[in-house]
Structure 1
Amino acid sequence: MVSPVLFDPSNSSDEGCCPDESLFAIYHSTQASSATQNFIGALPIELLLAIFTHLYRSSRRLTHSGETWGLDNPLSSLFPYAPAAVCSMWRSVLSLVPEFWTRVVIRVDSQRTQSRDIRRYFKWSRNLHLDVIITRHRDEFEGDDKKEKSNVLKATRELVRHIERCRSIRFNVMYSSSLPSILHHFHQKKAPHLQTLKLKCKVDDGGSPPLKLVHWSFDAPDLRHLYLDARNFFDVCVDRNNWLKRLSNLHSLSISRYRHISKRGIDLYKLLRAIGESPSVECLELKDLHFSRVRPWTALNDIILDLVSMNLEDLSGDVFSEIIGFVDSGPVATRISRCAINACRFSLISYRVAFHDLSADQDLMVPLTHWRGRTLSLVNCACFHDDFLRDMMDGGLHDQSFACKAAKELYIVNCMNFSPGLLKTMVLKRRKIARRCLFWTHDQETLNWTFPIVAPITLISVEGGPVLSKKDRRWFEENLQSFHWDEEVLDSQFEGPGDSDTDI
């Protein structure tokens, strides 16, 4: 609940926020004539505060770690910035409540936030903890912006003055060269409350040569989520300055964006070794990275990746294969997007596997033949077709080596190159073989057991699939525990339950 004392207009001291009169003087002046009775500024301050408090609460969301700001609203409707832009009266009332300003949003695009406004936002939040977002409007990530770097630099200078109050810091910009340098801008800073640090860019356009600091330090003992571009990661997390070793509470790590502007790439094994030395990382994401070598010069037996979830995007085949080979225990979930999988020399071992946006020339069976997981998701995958279904249902007359033998759940999104009839045949054959087990029953507890030869398919969900006949639909509904089939192709990209939060 917002404290009533914060509604006292005497608490406001920002000279650029409102005229010399107090808020209540402004209010009473609007009541002077009947002509102004319908003017929006004539609303009683108590009513305005009630409305703004409702908007504040509706902008928040509950998570497993408590209440926080939502991150999925467009900039144009973001609280408190949208109502603050209506008039000086509204902005003055909003400035009285520090809780309203604990999400500091700074634009660095064509409508960049002015430095004086940034300073106001930090001031109005008083001494409360902050969530800071330095971003572009989602419609302004195309074209060329030569001013972005200087805009981000100005915002970063204001940010670091208040970094001790920050709970989360998110950069979402166009160029890697615009991102701040952790080695430089955060050196010798302390952020005792920082839990999330994300440095995201759309394009790797290079960057300035890193500084050489022998005793670099950035104290963030409570950091749990770290998202870095590759250059910042190698500056502070590899070799002498492996910052990851000091982040004992770090849960999730993302490294992204390194293109071969020159022929030289980054070292895959230095990257994997640094990750392996982290005491607590469970969730790993590697996106759009170019490596200089994909085979070690010597045998590497000391790199072990013990993960709960893994997300790999836009990686070459050799790199994908090497990373899979270093995963020691089976992650609960693995997501693979736009990677070359045909060269993979290892089988996936995750409980849940999701493939996104794979081209028709990829062979899903390369990493899946000996897969023993339960849940398989296929999203926008042209390589999912009838041959894959035949592999799932044909163990041969005297062969019990079924592909994907433990799979029980199939999620298929925007895939059109398969036959519903063959899918039905596959489900039926696996079901018949599974029924031969002595403990087969129809109850849920039994279906959760491990089947020695092949597991029955118990769930199928199709979004954006081929036409399904009424007869086949009825058969699926009668023979599966859970079934859904929608033939309409989805416009938005499918997001699974384990996906990362959405940035503005």
Structure 2
Amino acid sequence: MSRCSFSSLPAEMVSSILKAGLEGIVQDDMMRTPEPEHQILAGGLPFPHTMALVCRLWRDIVSSTPELWTRIFWMISVPEEEGCHLINSQLEKSGNYPIHLTIINSWSHQRGIRVILHHIAPHLQRLKSLRMANFYEAYDQPHLDTLTGYAPQLESLQLTDGKHIHHCTNFKSRLKLDCPALRIFHADIIVACNLDHRWLKNNLTHVEFMTISCGSNWIRNSQAVMLSRALDAVPRRIPCLTFDNLQLSDYSLASINQAGTKIGAEQVILHISIDALAAIDDDCQTIVIKKCNSVHDLQSISLPSSSRSLELDGCDSKELRRVPDTRTWDGDTVTITNSHSSCIEIILHLLGAPFNDHSCSLWRRVTTLKLVANGDFVLNLPLPLLKAMISSRQGAAEQNNLSGKNVEDNVELKGVRPLMVFHVHGGQPLSCEESVWFEKRVRDFVWDYRR
């Protein structure tokens, strides 16, 4: 096959490749905190500045393609005059195309936000996504009033300040953007609690992903109630709601219950802390737990009764010290990804594996279990416990057909179902004998081991 150098590609093709690369970066920016390679690159130059340094051809292509200048990533750490010049220059280069703006404010620059927003204000109708970090100097002052007006294309809005989240003294919401097309909204707990409910009703009609970041402190009783009421003001049931380390005390949970409000969404993702499980309403369909090291707390926190699916990703756990006897769940699917064996063991006990010579099945309707390893992660699966869980559920289902109750252990077994689907992707190699054992007892059995 003939070969050709990258430099021999037509300018139109190079431009298309760079546009595709930019699109991937923008999607990453909109959905979450950008990956390190997508932030400030070598020399402090973000895309597309680095692309223009490759060669003269690329510099000419980048300079003549306004779409490539639409991602404006600015770290406020330069003199005010220089910052204004660079922002204005990139806004001019982007032509009339929609823009994606990221502002990272230095701790020591209190005027930078005001200056940048002043230059962005005339371009609100082109704004496609806006992410501001470390901005509470602006929130505490009337700088955000500059962003007042109609932003019909704005789809992603993120307002976060990880270190100053509890230092804001003026909680009155200054957010006055009219952005009815908003699909992605990410805010700190203070912003979320103090948003005007009318703004929420007018601008979150089409929201798909909402994330609340909570810092590292416990949420006060009043904040918990304000948060639940703010979420209740959203005019649609949120398809995907994420809480980043939402820590709720028993008093906060009691305050939410007394206020008669619950946290509702089709899918709820809990990152680090699972305290919010007790505050989720019964209409939630999927619970996702990520990066949590306290999965053992599932023995004392009830899952929403109507949720059908539970997913655990990157989780760990302490040793389960007692047989859980009160927290049942009627869901049917459990998926565990890249999680420690201690987490898997806890779930197996909740599914019916014997614990201290006793058999129990709190999650009696689960028929599907999937264990997955992604990337370089290797699952360390406790085969004896897996077998014990499958045998326990099978025996309970058979006994249920006869009497409906395990008299010896005094554990209700009515409605216990055998495991019907068991998939493992990335586990240890399985011997032929062990494979035959699982195939005889599970209707849909898959075991892909890591080579």
* TM norm. shorter chain > 0.5: yes
**Equivalent in 127, 137, 159 of residue 166 of structure 1:** 127
**Equivalent in 157, 166, 182 of residue 197 of structure 1:** 157
**Which residue in 2 is equivalent to 1:430?**
393
Q: How far off its partner does 1:279 sit? A: 1.3
1:253 matches 2:215: no
Query: Superposition pairs for residues 195-274 of structure 1, below 5 Å?
Result: 195-204=155-164, 206-210=166-170, 212=172, 217-237=176-196, 241-247=197-203, 248-260=205-217, 267-274=223-230
Q: Which amino acid aligns with 2:193?
A: F
Q: Highest CA radius of gyration, 1 or 2?
A: 1
**Which residue in 1 is equivalent to 2:270?**
312
**Equivalent in 381, 386, 405 of residue 364 of structure 2:** 405
Q: 1:417 to 1:190 in 2, by over 3 A?
A: same
**Which residue in 2 is equivalent to 1:60?**
23
Secondary structure at 2:125's aligned position in 1? helix
**Which residue in 2 is equivalent to 1:279?**
235
Q: 1:359 to 1:297 in 2, by over 3 A?
A: closer
CA distance in 2, matches of 1:359, 1:109: 42
- Residue by residue over 1:291-335, the C-alpha shift from the partner in whole angstroms, topping out at 9 and shown as x without a partner, is 684154696364244421001234474xx35413xx131323433
**Which residue in 1 is equivalent to 2:72?**
104
Q: Which amino acid aligns with 2:169?
A: P
Between the two proteins, the alignment pairs up a number of residues equal to: 408
CA distance in 1, matches of 2:420, 2:321: 22
CA distance in 2, matches of 1:380, 1:99: 41
- Whether the 8 Å contact between 2:397 and 2:416 is mirrored in structure 1 is yes
Q: 1:180 to 1:387 in 2, by over 3 A?
A: closer
Q: How far off its partner does 1:420 sit? A: 0.8
Q: 1:342 to 1:433 in 2, by over 3 A?
A: closer
1:376 matches 2:338: no
Q: How far off its partner does 1:255 sit? A: 1.2
Q: 1:367 to 1:121 in 2, by over 3 A?
A: farther
**Equivalent in 283, 303, 323 of residue 261 of structure 2:** 303
- Residue by residue over 1:193-248, the C-alpha shift from the partner in whole angstroms, topping out at 9 and shown as x without a partner, is 111111244434544422657x97331111122100122223324xxx55322232
Q: Which amino acid aligns with 1:85?
A: L
Q: Which amino acid aligns with 1:404?
A: W
Q: Which amino acid aligns with 1:456?
A: L
Q: How far off its partner does 1:371 sit? A: 1.5
**Equivalent in 415, 434, 439 of residue 472 of structure 1:** 434
Q: Which amino acid aligns with 1:421?
A: P
Moved more, 330-339 or 219-228: 330-339
**Which residue in 2 is equivalent to 1:188?**
148
- Whether the 8 Å contact between 2:241 and 2:268 is mirrored in structure 1 is yes
**Which residue in 2 is equivalent to 1:323?**
279
- Residue by residue over 1:351-402, the C-alpha shift from the partner in whole angstroms, topping out at 9 and shown as x without a partner, is 2212343431567986995222222233434643656535533699xx9973
Secondary structure at 1:402's aligned position in 2? coil
CA distance in 1, matches of 2:429, 2:257: 52
Q: Which amino acid aligns with 1:228?
A: A
- Whether the 8 Å contact between 1:176 and 1:207 is mirrored in structure 2 is no
Query: Superposition pairs for residues 321-360 of structure 1, below 5 Å?
Result: 322-324=278-280, 327-335=281-289, 337-338=291-292, 341=297, 344-349=300-305, 350-355=307-312, 356-360=314-318
**Equivalent in 74, 98, 112 of residue 38 of structure 2:** 74
Q: How far off its partner does 1:409 sit? A: 1.9
CA distance in 1, matches of 2:326, 2:425: 20
Q: Which amino acid aligns with 1:236?
A: L
**Which residue in 1 is equivalent to 2:102?**
133
Larger relative contact order, structure 1 or 2 (CA cutoff 8 Å, min sep 6): 1
Moved more, 246-255 or 225-234: 246-255
- Whether the 8 Å contact between 2:293 and 2:317 is mirrored in structure 1 is no
Moved more, 306-315 or 148-157: 148-157
- Whether the 8 Å contact between 1:360 and 1:381 is mirrored in structure 2 is no
Moved more, 266-275 or 104-113: 104-113
CA distance in 2, matches of 1:61, 1:462: 27
Gaps of 5+ in 1: 1-39, 137-144, 439-450, 489-504
CA distance in 2, matches of 1:183, 1:343: 47
**Which residue in 2 is equivalent to 1:124?**
93
- Whether the 8 Å contact between 2:300 and 2:327 is mirrored in structure 1 is no
1:294 matches 2:252: yes
Q: 1:336 to 1:49 in 2, by over 3 A?
A: closer
Q: Which amino acid aligns with 2:228?
A: L
**Which residue in 2 is equivalent to 1:21?**
none
Moved more, 353-362 or 220-229: 353-362
CA distance in 1, matches of 2:89, 2:381: 58
After TM superposition, the score normalised by the length of structure 2 is: 0.71
Q: How far off its partner does 1:147 sit? A: 4.2
Q: 1:97 to 1:364 in 2, by over 3 A?
A: farther
Q: 1:265 to 1:296 in 2, by over 3 A?
A: closer
CA distance in 2, matches of 1:85, 1:98: 17
After TM superposition, the score normalised by the length of structure 1 is: 0.65
Q: Which amino acid aligns with 2:227?
A: L
Secondary structure at 1:484's aligned position in 2? strand
RMSD: 4.7
Secondary structure at 2:182's aligned position in 1? coil
Secondary structure at 2:157's aligned position in 1? strand
Q: How far off its partner does 1:259 sit? A: 4.1
CA distance in 2, matches of 1:302, 1:59: 46
Q: 1:453 to 1:200 in 2, by over 3 A?
A: same
Gaps of 5+ in 2: 402-413
- Residue by residue over 1:115-158, the C-alpha shift from the partner in whole angstroms, topping out at 9 and shown as x without a partner, is 4232222112211222223359xxxxxxxx64466655554444
Secondary structure at 2:423's aligned position in 1? strand
